Structure 1
């Protein structure tokens, strides 16, 4: 029994068109990541399974943080591929850092296929409590005495 589904053909055609715009079927298309704030710093985690650990690079230049990693393709020419869906090539992602980031103290680790970047807030950007004085605590200002001779 054949089932006619006009949307599956349209979906396949759309995937084909989009894949040529965002990268070929053999090059990375994206670097999925999460970014969240904990206390006085941000944490960025990016999934990079199978990349060469020595190729992972985090660079900060002029307020832009660039994450780069590379997955090497298998070079075995004698392999007969039955399925070849994993991407290889260079992954790259850029993020703009605000003025409130202490870029000198950014740290990164790569473990189990996940890149974790800790991005601390600059001291001037951290929230702080402002003490509010109460009227009863303030010193009173004495009115100036007027000299009767003038």
Structure 2
């Protein structure tokens, strides 16, 4: 359903711990946009946490089987007299790319956004759904072929 393609996740995590994360800029590390993915009946669901992101700044695209989600967290207008004493929430553009399996119908993806959570619902292709195969009986002509 979903192919993991982030071989440098641990390298990114170590670099972030050693050198610190930028306060703003472009983020493509998975921890900047954590996700869950699961199958629910005849659809595959991917859920992304995007707290503090306006729905208008979310961009979702699919090219072949590569799903790309981009979102921007903009700074809050604090007013002209505000003095920041703590700033831990990263700002800027967040990006995440996942590769989807051929069993998913990328032509019919549905997206919804509520309370800082982006949910993508991707139908499973008809040919990829489990199906029952009935076993028929053989007639005598078929039996001769099987015995020879």
Please give the range of the TM-score, normalised by the shorter of the 2 chains: 0.7 to 0.9
Within the candidate set 35, 38, 59, 1:36 is matched to: 38
Query: What stretches of structure 1 move > 4 A for 4+ residues in a row?
Result: none
Paired position in structure 1 for 2:117: 114
Paired position in structure 2 for 1:24: 22
Residues 26 and 85, structure 1, Cα contact 8 Å, conserved in 2: no
**Residues 129 and 16 (structure 1), Cα distance of their counterparts in 2 relative to 1, 3 Å cut:** closer
In structure 1, how many angstroms separate the alpha carbons of the residues matched to 2:120 and 2:129?
Answer: 19
In structure 1, how many angstroms separate the alpha carbons of the residues matched to 2:61 and 2:16?
Answer: 33
Give the TM-score of the pair, scaled to structure 2. 0.74
| 1:101 aligned counterpart, secondary structure | coil
**Residues 105 and 15 (structure 1), Cα distance of their counterparts in 2 relative to 1, 3 Å cut:** closer
**More relative contact order in 1 or in 2 (CA 8 Å, sep 6+)?**
2
How many residues of Structure 1 are paired with residues of Structure 2 in the alignment? 124
Unaligned runs of 5+ in 1: 1-13, 144-150
Deviations 1:98-130 (A, max 9, x none): 111111111100111000000111111111111
Unaligned runs of 5+ in 2: 1-14
CA deviation after TM superposition for structure 1 residue 77, in Å: 4.6
More strand by share: 2
CA deviation after TM superposition for structure 1 residue 15, in Å: 6.0
RMSD: 2.1
CA deviation after TM superposition for structure 1 residue 16, in Å: 5.4
| Aligned: 1:55 with 2:57 | yes
**Residues 78 and 63 (structure 1), Cα distance of their counterparts in 2 relative to 1, 3 Å cut:** same
